[in-house]
Structure 1
Amino acid sequence: MRLLVLFVVTLFSVRRASGAEKGSQLGNKKTLIAEQPECAEDVRKICKDQVSNNLNVLECLQNSQLIWKYKHDLTHSDRFQDAALDLCKGDLEKVPCKPENKDNFISCLLEHKFNITSFKCHQFLGKVATIIFSDYNMIQKFTDSCQNDIEKLKCGRMNFDENALHSQGRTISCLSQHFEDLSNNCQHEILRIAELQSDDFHLDRPLYFACREDREKFCADVHAGEGRVYTCLLRNKNKKGMSDECKEKLFLREKLIMQDYKISHGLVKACRQDIRNNQCRRGTSSNREIKLAQILICLEGATLKGKHVAGECEAEMALHRRMLLEDKNLTPDLLAACSEEIENFCNSHSIDGSILSCLMDHAVPSHQNFSGTGGYTVGPQCIRQVEDLLKVTDASEDWRVDPILEESCQRVVDSSCSSVQPGEGRVIQCLMTKLNSPHMEPACKAALLRLMYFVARDFSLDAQLYKYCHNNAEKFCNAKKDWAEVTKTTDPERGLVTLSCLYHVAYHPTKEKKLDKKCAPEVKRVMRQRALSVDLNPEVEEQCLPDLASKCSSDIEEGDEMECLQDNLEFLEEKCRIAVKNFTIEEVEHRELNPSLTLHCDDIINRYCEDYLDEDSENGDVLECLIAHKREFEVRTSPKCLATIEHFQLISLKDYSFSPKFKESCDHDVMLLCPDLMQHSSTRHKAEIVACLSGKIWQAAIEGKKPELGHKCLDELRSQLLQQQSDIRLNPFLQQSCQTDIDHYCKDVAHTEGKVLECLRENRKFLTKLCQQEIFKADAIAMADNQLDFALVTDCKHMIKRYCSQEDNDHLLECLKSHKDTAEWVNFDQKCKRIIATRMIERSSDIRLNPSLHKACDLEMTKFCAKVILNEIEFSEGKMVACLRDQLIAKKLRPSCEEELANLMKESALDIRQNPTLMNACKFEIKMCINGAQKLEEYSEGEIEECLKAQFVKHAIINDTCKQEVAKLVEAGEADIMADPILYRACSQDIHSHCPGIDHGRGRWLSCLLNVLDENQEHLSSPCSEKLISRKAMFEYAAKVAPIAVETVQELVNQAWSSPSRSYFLIVLTVFVAFIFLGGLFFGRATKRLRAELKNK
């Protein structure tokens, strides 16, 4: 009952609040209602003689018909119009309302209330509006325009409800609920009434009564008028404690606001000047309804262009944008376009209010495939409506306008982006930078990627990008001039053309096309964001949906789809392969497009690769730098960074273009030297090109020539080959050929630091033939250019720096080996010692692994050793060296070849492992020398060979093959003392003393020493004399065991002259000639004498 009293007082009191206060005191003081100054006159007129009893007065006032009749007569009386003329006379010139038109005069004043400045007139019209809007029959034109709709929708039946409180606008409320079903004229009247009610929420009676308690709870300090209470209620409608009845009425109000922005008094008042300045009503009449979307798009466009928009207007815009993104306010067009999608996917989401989020989630095609929802996708009409809604609300500009995003990301923003000022997309940009951080929550990540999926497909939806790049986009990319321009066709912004164009200009500028300083960073920022997920990269995603579904749908973490596509590049469909290839090329050249690199390797990049960060176009320099520092402690202890680097190395093998510096440096050389590989228009595998070019290096080394490659290409090729040596996975031919052997012999060996390759080398004798061939290729390249030997340059890094920093690449091993016999060898790194010995053993196994020997003896190999087949790419186990050794013994080699061969034999004498033929022939005898107690490498230099020679001279070697090999060793030492390092060390001083000026070749030094020995043994030093005596016995026995085949007289002479018994041969020959001479002298002629004529005949 008290409420009714308040209502009556509200109608007729000049001071509404004062009346309510006094009305509340009636019961306390038990005074008569009829005696109250505010009510006395009205009670006497309406209730006449019932004024002495308050109950009778209240009963009288509850008579709906009576009250309605009184209000109707009041609003149609001349006194009512006279009051309006008196109070509003000063403003009549400002409005098009004529007093002569009595039926519409009051309604006209109400429609133009916002143009009236008189306080008394405003106050009067406010009271009139309260009376009029309490019943639709008192609203001019409304009954005529909506009568049919009222009857059709049965919205007039509530007038007869006694509890309806004089209708209180329920008919209008009912019609508002069915707004889409109304006739055009009735829709117009409903919107006009809502606009008139927008000033004061008391005028919307159903909303007023539904929200009275909510107003006191949430908006107690807000004064009514100018739409302030509406705005306050709208801001708080989703808070806990807001009643469902109030929410429902506010929802109806919002639906009308969407149809005509003027219904929101707060928006109209705050943005009136901005709407006028930006001509947002251009082309429309003043009384035509303008949808909220049109105004918001217009004002957002002005903001993005840098035009000033009042702060109060921006706040109202944000409120209304948020309103549009709530499920209950989804536009009829969107609901109609997405009806099937909502039924199929999002029916259950209507309960929790996330229909729009559901539609956005299912609009991502890859999500359909990953989630297994089948082939049904969100239709283009539905997607377009979602895009239009996102553009109207400009959700990416302020994260708070999206309720789901705000709820999901509030904690993340508080922890990681609290210092970022909202607006212009700054908070969303901050969240994108934290997408893979530990602070990111799954719900926030999902909501963020859901929104960014659409932003990535519309250039205009990114506030910062549009603000700074619109002029460039318009100038270079034919983008639309006006952000607010609406088109139903595929335009540059929506068709991805604009962003692709800006990207191309940003990374490949010319004199004519170059982005502004503020635009270029924004383009790069967007490209970084797009690289975070394949869904944000439409150029790739749209081309690769089938491949994503078939190859990257299981066991793939979110965000790893691009790496999956790259790993399967050769198996992708053509369109997808091209898209992934293009993206990978850009990703390699610009590190910001590689999120894993920036996330996991940023600190390492800043430490080791800082010099490459300031360049406009990195051209892959940062990745190359990381590869070069892959063995640094920081990289090795950062598994994710190391994995990222190795992933790049592996995918770079799939296409030559993925290594931009290599491609740029070697394009010409590849075309010239490997034309067959360049004829294929499809993917050009880098591994094939590296194999081709490296073969040219080896061939040039064998021929003793400089490689035909350019200097830059040679440097890049060395880098690629060094990577192959360090990780067998980067040499696909080797890995494929040796996979069985790897599984058998090197199963537990790490792929890094060349360990697998070294393991295979250690087990080369047991490898399959195919694997041996590939190992031979790798060894051949490393021997041709020692800088390509990863293990050598790694294990001997400090020794190289100390002793061989000035040496050429092809002499690096020789330089290190040359210090082996010096006193400094003691200070050598032990790992370096071992790798040098290993490489020397490998080099001795095949002459092709010894380019200097191959070059020096090329003629001899052709002339004397053609029977040794070297055309197969496999190890010859020293066969060619053995053949050349036989020619050394026969003294058929040229000095240059003899010198190189003697050096090789000297090394093999010091380390028997470098003589594969001897190792194979004398396995048992070698075991006898070491007694199985030690490893061969643990014996001192030359000790094992001396042991075999000692057994040989003692006739202890039974194996004929071994005996032959040892005999040839002895004979080789006889042919060139340099091939017998133990003898040479013992007699080096004696040679300088007794054989000055004599070349060492063809046994000359040894012959000299033997002559001295024969003449006077005391002239020689004791060690030399002892060694010569023992060697002389060996020479004699070796000549019997392995006599040298003599094929010509010259060879016979040479053999006799080089023999230790040449003096004996000379004496015998002299005695023979003397005997013939003496015989002729004493015994006369041996033939019969003839006459002279017979001789002349």
Structure 2
Amino acid sequence: MTAIIFSDYRLICGFMDDCKNDINILKCGSIRPGEKDAHSQGEVVACLEKGLVKEAEESDPRIKVSDECKKAILRVAELSSDDFHLDRHLYFACRDDRERFCENTQAGEGRVYKCLFNHKFEESMSEKCRDALTTRQKLIAQDYKVSYSLAKSCKSDLKKYRCNVENLPRSREARLSYLLMCLESAVHRGRQVSSECQGEMLDYRRMLMEDFSLSPEIILSCRGEIEHHCSGLHRKGRTLHCLMKVVRGEKGNVGLNCQQALQTLIQETDPGADYRIDRALNEACESVIQTACKHIRSGDPMILSCLMEHLYTEKMVEDCEHRLLELQYFISRDWKLDPVLYRKCQGDASRLCHTHGWNETTSDLMPTGAVFSCLYRHAYRTEEQGRRLSRECRAEVQRILHQRAMDVKLDPALQDKCMIDLGKWCSEKTETGQELECLQDHLDDLVVECRDIVGNLTELESEDIQIEALLMRACEPIIQTFCHEMADNQIDSGDLMECLIQNKHQKEMNEKCAIGVTHFQLVQMKDFRFSYKFKMACKEDVLKLCPNIKKKVDVVICLSTTVRNDTLQDAREQRVSLKCRKQLRVEELEMTEDIRLEPELYEACKSDIKNNCPNVPYGNAQIIECLKENKKRLSNRCHQKVFKLQENEMMDPELDYTLMRVCKQMIKRFCAEADSKNMLQCLKQNKNNEVMDPKCKQMITKRQITQNTDYRLNPVLRKACKQDIPKFCQNILSTAKDDAELEGQVVSCLKLKYADQRLSPDCEDQIRVIIQESALDYRLDPQLQMHCSDEISRLCAEEAAAQEQTGQVEECLKVNLLKIKPEMCKKEVLNMLKESKADIFVDPVLHTACALDIKHHCAAIPPGRGRQMSCLMEALEDKRVRLQPECKKRLNDRIEMWSYAAKVAPAEGFSDLAMQVMTSPSKNYILSVITVSICVLFLIGLLCGRITKRVTRELKDRPLSGWDLGYKG
């Protein structure tokens, strides 16, 4: 009987009365004129159903179905929902398809409908059946009761959670979307919804995601986008994903209404709760899920999170990557669409961010992503700042932040505020993670709103660098080897990045990680807030001592200057706090590793780097070292900056990155107890130790050469000779320029005064060491190297090429003194000879040859002021003393050289004259003559009496008169 009634709409009670006008208007009464098919009247109902769904898909429908007829149509559809035989149009359209796909499915309770729905997009499904099924699905979307199984399974739950209250208009409460959101809200609040109902909800959520045409809002709002960008993609959710791709900005622009319609559909279907709802994603990512996420139960919300963790890894496939990012774009714009985040954070969100229920819309005034922004602001608050998130919620917020760092489009606020800047500065940066790096690089160029967002995100990264998921992935090997303890900490506080920086040049470090770490360091230089540990340690000091300074490098300079001034002035109390001083030291040391971390130096030397160090890497301070080695070829501005840098390094050798790196083991061996300021001095003292590393020794020599070019680069000498330098070398100082080397002129000046024995004891000690060192290695004497470079190449090339300098070049120059042509070079060699007279220790060749004789014949004679040299000269003349042959030969050579020097360069003072007498072969004769002359003068005075006449005592004792005082009274 039911089949007979539903075969002719005229037999359905009241239907003809309610829909008579609509049948005529829609012309549904004569679909097939002339045909008298017994089943043709079922087409009338089908025609009315199509008119009903078409009206919902048009913003301004030309023909409207009356409300009475709408109710009647939906009522007929509801009554036929039990058995597909009762929907005559669908039955005849799908008879063959039912036999093909659902042969074993028993009719009744809507089972055949569901079976056909599941096969709707099969290739072999007939087009007329697919159309009939789509119309049926659209009716279900308008009234959930058209689905028998859904209405039956969810009846009690709908009543229990008041999802069908009478005071709501039927048009709203009956809609499938309202039912889904109402029941989903109950599930998200932790309420119990029957498994049968949840199963039906899952099926219909999947149905909505598969076919965009079932959502009238999508058709209304996105018609233009579908036609322009997504035509022909109608199956298995591909149209929706195409629209998502358009919204992400990958295929063109999209209207706001379309974007909102898509966002609403994602909320209705809630694919974040179960990835299987999104068929396009499910199919694209099946292989990834089976390999990377097989440990997670199928349908678990954490599957999506697992997929995000494997984004841009070898396990991810390209199609899955696209579908995943398209879905995550929408999930990221509504925190409720991440079920795990919502479950763990709904209490915190309600308490701190004043949110509403799951299915209640937030205020239109609240920007997209505002709730999540609120959550992450509270996630990184300290206990002192109060009102922090629960531990569970904080962990979820961190998870989301780590995932969002993968793609700038997953951060709604960032994309919204920075859209213009992304187009302006970063249009060519299409690789993974490059967009955020690009925005950070152009931070100073960004509009204010974008700059604030990028600044806040960078500040957050400095506290928890694991947010930079791509960087963490690249740095996995180095983290596991050197920083695993920091990585395991739930609260990072900047420790992990500090560890990565310290281990940046380990052999385990790969290029991607090193580049990422260096980039973050460079970004940190733009604002001191971007260095979390520095900010926390020094924020009070910065406010007090360096207000209105933003850039990190300027803050470091400001605080360092304050510390140095307080130290030099012996201030009773340091103005910079102890915790800040400790962290300041860390920042200073990190900045020495790469010239780009010192912007002023880098800007001043950019062209010089290009000209002199084109292929030198920036890391390990290699560019800085290259500039030092090419100092004479640098531009004035760069030269001044490099000189200033060297001056600071010599005052504080720990800031000399290359020295500290090359001599790391030697410092541990010899200078573990030494103060950082005396590190270079300690290394110099141990330079000739037999266990000294050759590379370290070479580096120490380099630094000594640098120090000897200018007394200002030798703090120990400068302090010891602070009175001697202005006293003896004022003429050199008066012509000196700031930040430009004196090419060893002051040191040479002090050397000459050392030979004259006129220096203060402290200064004399320092100059003696310098003379001793430069006597072993000619490169430590800038004046000698400058004036004699050609002569060394001509006369002493073999000695100069020796791997280790032992004074052979100086000896060669002394031996070839007569062959030297340039006067300035000859003068320098003569000065060396003069210096050697003052102390045998400064003549290494002679000292080595005569060491045994000094021990035997001059052991009681203290060194210095030419005393041991005089002792050896006397021993040479004493016939009873037998000197070692080598010592005797060297002494005779020196006497000849000094004799020649005396002829070429006459004595400049009494000390020179005395020294020439003492070293003369006729010394005894000269001394005898001088002694006899003095004795004769004494005897003459004694024997001949006074020359002046004697005066009486009275004249001596009388008072002086005015005349005697030189004036008249």
- Is the pair's TM-score, using the shorter chain for normalization, greater than 0.5? yes
- The more displaced of 549-558 and 691-700 is 691-700
Letter in 1 for 2:467: L
Gaps of 5+ in 1: 1-126, 1047-1051
Q: In the alignment, what sits opposite 1:626?
A: 500
- Which runs of structure 2 are paired with 1:476-625 in the superposition (5 Å)? 476-480=352-356, 482-486=357-361, 489-491=364-366, 495-510=368-383, 513-625=387-499
Q: CA RMSD in A?
A: 3.4
What is the SS of the residue equivalent to 1:867? helix
Q: In the alignment, what sits opposite 2:126?
A: 243
Shift of the 741–1016 alpha-carbon distance from structure 1 to 2, 3 Å rule, reads farther
Q: Is the 8 A contact 1:280 1:295 kept in 2?
A: yes
Shift of the 139–641 alpha-carbon distance from structure 1 to 2, 3 Å rule, reads same
Q: Is the 8 A contact 1:702 1:852 kept in 2?
A: no
Q: Once the 2 structures are TM-superposed, how far is the Cα of residue 448 of structure 1 from its aligned partner?
A: 1.5
Number of aligned positions between the proteins: 940
Q: In the alignment, what sits opposite 1:841?
A: 705
Letter in 2 for 1:943: Q
Provide the C-alpha distance between the structure 1 equivalents of 2:654 and 2:945, rounded to a whole number of angstroms: 79
2:314 paired residue among 426, 431, 438: 438
Q: Once the 2 structures are TM-superposed, how far is the Cα of residue 878 of structure 1 from its aligned partner?
A: 0.8
Provide the C-alpha distance between the structure 2 equivalents of 1:499 and 1:901, rounded to a whole number of angstroms: 68
Matching of residue 654 in structure 1 with residue 523 in structure 2: no
Letter in 1 for 2:483: C
Matching of residue 897 in structure 1 with residue 760 in structure 2: no
Matching of residue 802 in structure 1 with residue 677 in structure 2: no
1:883 paired residue among 746, 749, 752: 749
Q: Deviations over 1:1054-1097 (max 9, x none)?
A: 97489626987876665455444444455555456789988868
The percentage of counterpart residues that share the same residue type is 39
Matching of residue 641 in structure 1 with residue 513 in structure 2: yes
Provide the C-alpha distance between the structure 2 equivalents of 1:919 and 1:685, rounded to a whole number of angstroms: 43
1:320 paired residue among 204, 207, 220: 204
1:208 paired residue among 80, 87, 91: 91
Provide the C-alpha distance between the structure 2 equivalents of 1:194 and 1:474, rounded to a whole number of angstroms: 42
Q: Is the 8 A contact 1:656 1:663 kept in 2?
A: yes
- The more displaced of 324-333 and 707-716 is 707-716
Letter in 2 for 1:210: A
Provide the C-alpha distance between the structure 1 equivalents of 2:916 and 2:497, rounded to a whole number of angstroms: 63
Shift of the 783–871 alpha-carbon distance from structure 1 to 2, 3 Å rule, reads same
Matching of residue 948 in structure 1 with residue 806 in structure 2: no
Q: Is the 8 A contact 2:462 2:531 kept in 1?
A: yes
Q: Is the 8 A contact 1:783 1:849 kept in 2?
A: yes
Provide the C-alpha distance between the structure 1 equivalents of 2:22 and 2:601, rounded to a whole number of angstroms: 83
Matching of residue 337 in structure 1 with residue 221 in structure 2: yes
Provide the C-alpha distance between the structure 2 equivalents of 1:995 and 1:698, rounded to a whole number of angstroms: 47
Q: Once the 2 structures are TM-superposed, how far is the Cα of residue 594 of structure 1 from its aligned partner?
A: 0.4
Q: Deviations over 1:330-372 (max 9, x none)?
A: 43333333445445555565699744333322323x54xxx6x
Q: In the alignment, what sits opposite 2:67?
A: 184
Q: Is the 8 A contact 1:890 1:1044 kept in 2?
A: no
Provide the C-alpha distance between the structure 2 equivalents of 1:203 and 1:469, rounded to a whole number of angstroms: 48
Q: Once the 2 structures are TM-superposed, how far is the Cα of residue 154 of structure 1 from its aligned partner?
A: 0.8
Q: Is the 8 A contact 1:1056 1:1065 kept in 2?
A: no
Provide the C-alpha distance between the structure 2 equivalents of 1:445 and 1:1039, rounded to a whole number of angstroms: 88
Provide the C-alpha distance between the structure 1 equivalents of 2:306 and 2:435, rounded to a whole number of angstroms: 23
1:279 paired residue among 162, 169, 173: 162
- The more displaced of 194-203 and 835-844 is 835-844
Shift of the 359–791 alpha-carbon distance from structure 1 to 2, 3 Å rule, reads same
What is the SS of the residue equivalent to 2:759? coil
Q: Is the 8 A contact 1:701 1:784 kept in 2?
A: no
Provide the C-alpha distance between the structure 1 equivalents of 2:853 and 2:878, rounded to a whole number of angstroms: 14
Q: Deviations over 1:683-704 (max 9, x none)?
A: x333444455667788899999
Q: Is the 8 A contact 1:158 1:170 kept in 2?
A: yes
Q: In the alignment, what sits opposite 1:93?
A: none
Provide the C-alpha distance between the structure 2 equivalents of 1:1019 and 1:696, rounded to a whole number of angstroms: 64
What is the SS of the residue equivalent to 1:613? helix
Q: Is the 8 A contact 1:968 1:1038 kept in 2?
A: no
Q: Is the 8 A contact 1:620 1:659 kept in 2?
A: yes
What is the SS of the residue equivalent to 1:633? coil
Provide the C-alpha distance between the structure 1 equivalents of 2:86 and 2:595, rounded to a whole number of angstroms: 82
Q: In the alignment, what sits opposite 1:756?
A: 623
1:788 paired residue among 652, 655, 667: 655
Letter in 1 for 2:720: A
2:608 paired residue among 726, 733, 741: 741
1:816 paired residue among 676, 683, 700: 683
Letter in 2 for 1:432: M
Letter in 2 for 1:866: Q
Q: Once the 2 structures are TM-superposed, how far is the Cα of residue 942 of structure 1 from its aligned partner?
A: 0.9
Q: Is the 8 A contact 1:434 1:440 kept in 2?
A: yes
Q: In the alignment, what sits opposite 2:636?
A: 769
Q: In the alignment, what sits opposite 2:269?
A: 393
Q: Once the 2 structures are TM-superposed, how far is the Cα of residue 1029 of structure 1 from its aligned partner?
A: 4.5
Shift of the 937–278 alpha-carbon distance from structure 1 to 2, 3 Å rule, reads farther
What is the SS of the residue equivalent to 2:732? coil
Q: Deviations over 1:31-82 (max 9, x none)?
A: xxxxxxxxxxxxxxxxxxxxxxxxxxxxxxxxxxxxxxxxxxxxxxxxxxxx
2:46 paired residue among 169, 173, 196: 173
Q: Deviations over 1:1001-1040 (max 9, x none)?
A: 4444444555555667717666555544544454454455
Q: Once the 2 structures are TM-superposed, how far is the Cα of residue 149 of structure 1 from its aligned partner?
A: 0.9
Provide the C-alpha distance between the structure 1 equivalents of 2:118 and 2:124, rounded to a whole number of angstroms: 13
Q: Once the 2 structures are TM-superposed, how far is the Cα of residue 211 of structure 1 from its aligned partner?
A: 1.5
What is the SS of the residue equivalent to 1:410? helix
What is the SS of the residue equivalent to 2:723? helix
TM-score scaled to structure 1, two decimals? Answer: 0.79
Provide the C-alpha distance between the structure 2 equivalents of 1:593 and 1:230, rounded to a whole number of angstroms: 48
Provide the C-alpha distance between the structure 2 equivalents of 1:933 and 1:1002, rounded to a whole number of angstroms: 33
Q: Once the 2 structures are TM-superposed, how far is the Cα of residue 236 of structure 1 from its aligned partner?
A: 1.9
Provide the C-alpha distance between the structure 1 equivalents of 2:156 and 2:907, rounded to a whole number of angstroms: 115
Q: Is the 8 A contact 2:792 2:800 kept in 1?
A: no
Q: Is the 8 A contact 1:964 1:1041 kept in 2?
A: no
1:679 paired residue among 524, 548, 558: 548
Q: Is the 8 A contact 1:704 1:852 kept in 2?
A: no
Q: Once the 2 structures are TM-superposed, how far is the Cα of residue 205 of structure 1 from its aligned partner?
A: 1.0
Provide the C-alpha distance between the structure 2 equivalents of 1:221 and 1:444, rounded to a whole number of angstroms: 35
Provide the C-alpha distance between the structure 2 equivalents of 1:725 and 1:510, rounded to a whole number of angstroms: 35
- Which runs of structure 2 are paired with 1:987-1066 in the superposition (5 Å)? 987=850, 1000-1010=863-873, 1018=881, 1024=887, 1026-1043=889-906, 1045-1046=908-909, 1052=910, 1056=914, 1060=918
Q: Is the 8 A contact 2:210 2:236 kept in 1?
A: no
Letter in 2 for 1:832: C
Larger of the two Rg values belongs to structure? 1
Provide the C-alpha distance between the structure 2 equivalents of 1:928 and 1:939, rounded to a whole number of angstroms: 20
Letter in 2 for 1:223: Q
Q: Once the 2 structures are TM-superposed, how far is the Cα of residue 708 of structure 1 from its aligned partner?
A: 8.3
What is the SS of the residue equivalent to 2:730? coil
Q: Deviations over 1:714-749 (max 9, x none)?
A: 554554454454433333333333333333333233
Q: Is the 8 A contact 1:133 1:168 kept in 2?
A: no
Provide the C-alpha distance between the structure 2 equivalents of 1:487 and 1:918, rounded to a whole number of angstroms: 82
Letter in 2 for 1:308: Q
Q: In the alignment, what sits opposite 1:222?
A: 105
Provide the C-alpha distance between the structure 2 equivalents of 1:1059 and 1:144, rounded to a whole number of angstroms: 145
Q: Is the 8 A contact 2:525 2:597 kept in 1?
A: yes
Q: In the alignment, what sits opposite 1:22?
A: none
Q: Deviations over 1:636-668 (max 9, x none)?
A: xx3222222222233223332222223444556
